[in-house]
A and B are shown apart, each in its own frame.
Chain A
Amino acid sequence: MHERSEMNPTTLYRSGQRKKLLIILFLSLLLSGAVLYALYAGSYHLPFDRILTIIHQAITDPASLESVKSEKTVVIDFRMPRVLLAVLTGISLSIAGCVMQALLRNPLVSPFTLGLSSAASFGAALAIVFGAAFLPFLPPQFQNSAIIFCAFILGWLSILLIYGISRMKGSSSATLILAGVVIGYIFTAGVMILKYLTNDEKLREITLWLMGGMWGANWGAIIIVAPITLLCFLYLESIAWDLNSLSAGDDVAKNLGVNVNRLRLTGLCVSTLAASACLAFTGIIGFIGLMGPHIGRMLIGNDNRYLIPCSALLGALILLISDTAARTIMDPIEIPVGVIMYVIGGIFFLFLILQGKHRVIT
């Protein structure tokens, strides 16, 4: 009888919940540690306590930093936005992947499956090849931001196209995935044409953008990306129960009171917004949207109320560590973090296949 009460679902649920909260707490601590290390790591050496003092002073009394201008520049103007951009991008791509996987009931969907990355690449390539010349309506102070602007707009365009197709043909996950893949191919063709037509210098620039990296980090980027990421996170977290219901299929979700069509379209739009806002600044960074949610699911299970924050933390952690490695391993040469992500991601999924974790992949 005693054994029976231990198996009681209520008890199981409660202890599971405690475990999940502990995992999230642990990951938060780990991420804080990684942030501090990333601020410390780099060729300009500063002692650890000095960095803490500078951050403290920058918040409480910015004027006092005038005397130590170079130190302030390294920590506050270079490293900090870069660290924050890596964290925000990790969060955005990871929650976007997590939510898209739940919405389309397919664990291999990521922000890139739906044509988003190809469309954003096409936008960036357009801006690189033609410069700001074809955007005369852009105010002069934003002319330098043409790449970001185009990448963002075209990233969004891809989801609008998918939205349009789903309005005509229904929002079943097969339709949406197929539409995304096809749109991806069309934009990829556009990128190839631009690469073929342009000169060597611009070709190099396109290639760099496609590899992805945190070079674009500055406080301006953070001010744009941070609120978008935060709002998207809060929205996606608020639909966690509906996402859970979708796991039982469209029919059961409808019977449980979920407006499946609306959920799928708004969910996709919001997760695309989060992902494309980051991509516009960083270029293409693959695999985060797959790795974060997959590791999250192994650690914490399917309940999106916990899975979304857990994936966010994991995505931030993975991208921050990779980016810190990218800029310090071969110092002073910097490796594009996108390349590192492909290597880590490839090894990770190879490992999953060899481990026979079929329940995670299939």
Chain B
Amino acid sequence: MTLTIDRLNVWYGSVQILYDICFSIRDGEILCVIGPNGSGKSTLIKTLAGIIEPKSGIISMNGVELSQYSRNEVAKKIGYVPQDFQYLSSSTVLEAVILGRRPHVQWTLKPQDLEIVDTAMEMLNITSMAEKMLTELSGGERQRVFIARAIAQKPEYYLFDEPTSALDIRHQIDVFSMIRTITRSGKGSVFVAVHDLNFAYHYADRVILMDKGRIIAQGTPDEVMTRDHIISVYDVPMQFITTDAGQYVVPDWIQAEKTEQYHQGEQ
């Protein structure tokens, strides 16, 4: 099972956002996409989720073009968690998670649907909040609800757009180990946009580095997240630190502030 993206070009009106994107999401892997703000990560994820129509290029699932499948069939295979959530002020947690079953049900939820919803809520540890309104939750709790909805959708490919942006460090780690459980247990592949380079470094099987709508590099974390790549894309000097718990990428604060002053002087 592979999701293959071939020469994808995406435009918003007269502005091109993505240029000739080529890569594939392989079976059971965690593929992280990193890159600065505006590099096209969200647009890429939305295009794969069927929200934005590409101007050209082919997305194919297991060798079959995505356009050959019906909307509902695609919805059963590809699940999406957006970066910013929309919800009705009167929606409950349970209602929000149940929506994930929409591609699978005709009218009523069967016992196995409810079982899947139960499991999804348990995985994200939100079972006790089932009856709460979404407005009553904290940002992080809400983020877990929307991840649970994608889990309840039971797709083969999960697309997460910065799924941990509102979470504290404990829940960030929980979500990433859950993502790892999904992929390791053969329940799907994950394509995830992350800002925290260390999460990408530690959890990704492979990494894609994007800048200005193009893929700059792709490969294993060690291949992609090199000093040169990071500096050229983020414009921030990085230090690579080896600790007992593995290697870390941290900004070189002193150098970073110097370049900041340099840029201001330029203006």
Contact = CB atoms under 8 A, between A and B. Distances in A.
Contact of A359 (B70, B121, B133): B133
Interface stretch (B16-24, B26-34, B77-85, B254-262): B77-85
Nearest to B129: A7
A362 B89 CA distance: 7
B66 interface: no
A12 B127 CA distance: 11
Contact of B75 (A13, A248, A256, A359): A256
Interface in A239-273: 241-242, 244-245, 247-252, 254-259
Nearest to A305: B107
B93 to A, nearest CB: 9
A13 B114 contact: yes
B107 A257 contact: no
A4 B130 CA distance: 12
B89 A254 contact: no
* Interface-centre pick from A8, A250, A259 (highest chain B CB count, 10 A): A8
Interface string B112-141: 001101100100000110110101000000
A-side interface mostly: helix
A9 B118 contact: yes
A105 interface: yes
A58 interface: no
Contacts of B131: 12
Contacts of B76: 257
Contacts of B226: none
A299 to B, nearest CB: 12
A244 B133 contact: no
Interface residues of A, number: 36
Contacts of A302: 88, 90-92, 95
A29 interface: no
A254 B90 contact: no
Interface string A62-96: 00000000000000000000000000000000000
Contacts, number: 119
Nearest to A14: B114
Contacts of A343: none
A360 interface: yes
A307 B82 CA distance: 27
B127 A359 contact: no
B104 to A, nearest CB: 10
A301 interface: yes
B94 A12 contact: yes
Interface stretch (B44-52, B169-177, B216-224, B240-248): B44-52
A303 interface: yes
A4 B146 CA distance: 22
A327 interface: no
A252 B87 CA distance: 10
Nearest to B79: A255
A248 B98 CA distance: 11
Interface string B177-210: 0000000000000000000000000000000000
B127 A8 contact: yes
A252 B160 CA distance: 12
Given A9-B118, A9-B130, A252 B95 contact: no
B90 A241 contact: no
B227 interface: no
B90 A297 contact: yes
Interface in A328-362: 358-360, 362
A289 to B, nearest CB: 18
For the complex of A and B, 5 pairs with smallest distance between CB atoms: A249-B86, A257-B75, A255-B80, A10-B114, A257-B72
Given A244-B102, A257-B72, 6 more contacts: A12-B130, A13-B98, A251-B46, A255-B50, A259-B71, A301-B90
5 contacts: A8-B118, A242-B102, A247-B96, A256-B153, A302-B90
